[in-house]
Amino acid sequence: MDARELLVEYENLQAHSDALALRMEAETNAVLTDEQRAEIAAIKADYAISFTGLKAELDMLYEAIKRAVIAEGAPVDGERLRAVYVKPRITWDSKKLEGLAMVIPQVLDARKEGEASIQIRNLK
């Protein structure tokens, strides 16, 4: 199979998964009364407020942890989690280096090329 055929197969499998999820939701909703659906919606709305507050608190705490771990320069273990220090990634201006390589060809000896990767995105 070529890449397009594989992608179409992937799309079809993803569509099947989405349809299955929709069918499950429809069957679940079919056994609920209007009153039960309203109660569930109210419960979800009540929890949404709590989750929004927790998310904001988690985001602030994450940033504080990030600053502290970067300052220490080493991983930090909690009771269930580990915050891992990751060294800054070094990047180079390829266009400038390629220009420099015209004058100093040995610069190309330092060039390494990684493996290609893909991202699957939705078409608009």
pTM score of the predicted model: 0.59
Per-residue pLDDT of the chain (124 residues; tens, 9 = 90+): 888 899 899 999 999 999 999 999 999 999 999 999 999 999 999 999 999 999 999 999 999 999 999 999 999 999 999 999 999 888 889 899 999 999 999 998 988 888 888 787 888 7
Of residues 107, 86, 77, the one with CA closest to residue 95: 107
CA–CA separation, 103 vs 97, rounded Å?
Answer: 10
| Spatial contact of 82 and 69, defined as CB atoms under 8 Å apart | no
Extract the tokens encoding 17.
């998964």
| Spatial contact of 26 and 18, defined as CB atoms under 8 Å apart | no
